[in-house]
Amino acid sequence: MSSQPGAPATVMVRPLLLKPQWMNGLSERLLVSHYENNYGGAVRRLNAIRARLAALDWARTPVFEINGLKREELIAAGSVILHEIYFDSLGGHGDDPPNGLAEPPDGLARALERDFGSVMGWRAEFTAMAKALAGGSGWAILAWSERLGRLVNQWAADHAHGLAGATLILALDMYEHSYHIDFGAKAAAYVDQVMTNLNWERIDARYRMAIGEKAGNDKLFLPYGSPAQQEARISVEELRAALENGDGRRPVLLDLCLPRDLPRRTDMLAGASMHAPAALPRWVEALSRDRPVVVYCICGFQVSGTAVTELRQRGYDARALGGGITAWHAIGGATVPLDTSTYEDA
């Protein structure tokens, strides 16, 4: 969770790091719906509550209103943070999808053995705790407790339930919205499937940061294939502000999509033109050099990242939209029906 520079009250969405179309037995429809509607909804709700709180006259506001808003702020912030840990903990490596029940890296494996007897012992407790929440809602959490000096499996009945002072390492969403599209009421099957989709590299990085070691690989928490340099990226919140600005520097919007991904698309940003990435040499000459260019794809991975690198090499002020149109949906950004009339044939 981070704040936009110059507008510290705004909590920005984090892009998806997992590739939703390439997961192991968890559908794109489920994951994207969960990300856009439930996670995005929590971010939007948190920002609305924070705006309301910022406008309060604390001396004159009735206590029931303060209690209500502060309670809702805590719940929304908890939901935002827990969902970010959940989504970051899932996914394959680069272009490779998750391929089954993997083992944690050595350091984390030793810590799990120390605190739960074995990795298998930890997994048995963690999954049993998650399955016990079936039919209700809540979170199964692996956290590091400095005070207790160990990793703990923590049960949470809602977004505001947490062991005081503990640092989240892994969170498994047990709200029905996280599985019903794929699994119906079979929550236990969902838990087992999630365990075959864990990205231990990122979970391990969070553990090492929690115990005060430097994790050392910031790229782990950047969408795969997105440009490494900050100036080649733009957040969905920054784009929204730039589009609302209405001056002559309004960015040119390019919607890039691989031919095989066209069936995954239904909408686009208003004013964008849609192109095939492979046809870049054909459409690039028509681009204005007077205005910044924002390139987006579905989730902000290498399709927009590669094009932005090429455009920048050609001297354009091009940026890749972090999280793509999926993150745009998550902030409640408006779209129009997909228009493929400018899309190039192979």
Q: Please provide the DSSP assignment of 125-169 as one string.
A: HHHHHHHTTTTS--EEEEEEETTTTEEEEEEESSTT---TT-EEE
Of 126, 144, 175, 301, the one binding Fe ion by CB under 5 A: 175
Nearer to Fe ion, 172 or 256 (CB): 172
Nearer to Fe ion, 38 or 335 (CB): 38
Nearer to Fe ion, 38 or 273 (CB): 38
Nearer to Fe ion, 31 or 274 (CB): 31
Of 84, 88, 115, 173, the one binding Fe ion by CB under 5 A: 173
Nearer to Fe ion, 173 or 204 (CB): 173
Stretch that binds Fe ion, among 87-95, 106-114, 171-179, 209-217 (CB under 5 A): 171-179
Shortest Å, Cβ 26 to Fe ion: 13
Which string of x and - marks every residue 128-167 that binds Fe ion (by CB under 5 A)? ----------------------------------------
- Asked if residue 190 binds Fe ion (CB under 5 A), the reply is no
Q: CA 283 from chain center: how many Å?
A: 31
Strands (DSSP E) found in the chain:
2-4, 7-12, 139-145, 150-156, 167-173, 233-234, 252-256, 267-268, 273-275, 293-296, 318-321, 336-337
Neighbours of 259 (CB within 10 A): 13
Number of residues that bind Fe ion (CB under 5 A): 4
- CA-angle at 101, arms to 96 and 107, nearest 5°: 90
Shortest Å, Cβ 39 to Fe ion: 7
Which string of x and - marks every residue 204-233 that binds Fe ion (by CB under 5 A)? ------------------------------
**What DSSP designation does 105 have?**
P
Of 257, 268, 252, the closest CA to residue 319 belongs to: 252
Shortest Å, Cβ 176 to Fe ion: 9
Stretch that binds Fe ion, among 172-180, 201-209, 247-255, 334-342 (CB under 5 A): 172-180
The 10 Å CB-count burial string (b at 16+, else e) for 88-118 is bbbbbeeeeebeeeeebeeebbebbeebbee
Stretch that binds Fe ion, among 38-46, 110-118, 246-254, 314-322 (CB under 5 A): 38-46
What is the Cα–Cα distance from 17 to 323, expressed in whole angstroms?
A: 8
Shortest Å, Cβ 245 to Fe ion: 33
Nearer to Fe ion, 28 or 113 (CB): 28
List residues bridging with 144 in a β-sheet. 151, 167
Shortest Å, Cβ 331 to Fe ion: 17
Shortest Å, Cβ 127 to Fe ion: 18
Shortest Å, Cβ 86 to Fe ion: 7
Q: Please provide the DSSP assignment of 287-327 as one string.
A: S-SSS-EEEE-SSSSHHHHHHHHHHHHTT--EEEETTHHHH
- Asked if residue 38 binds Fe ion (CB under 5 A), the reply is yes
Nearer to Fe ion, 122 or 175 (CB): 175
What is the Cα–Cα distance from 231 to 222, expressed in whole angstroms?
A: 14
How many Å from the N-terminal Cα to the C-terminal Cα in the chain? 40
Nearer to Fe ion, 179 or 200 (CB): 179
Binding site for Fe ion (CB under 5 A): 38, 173, 175, 178
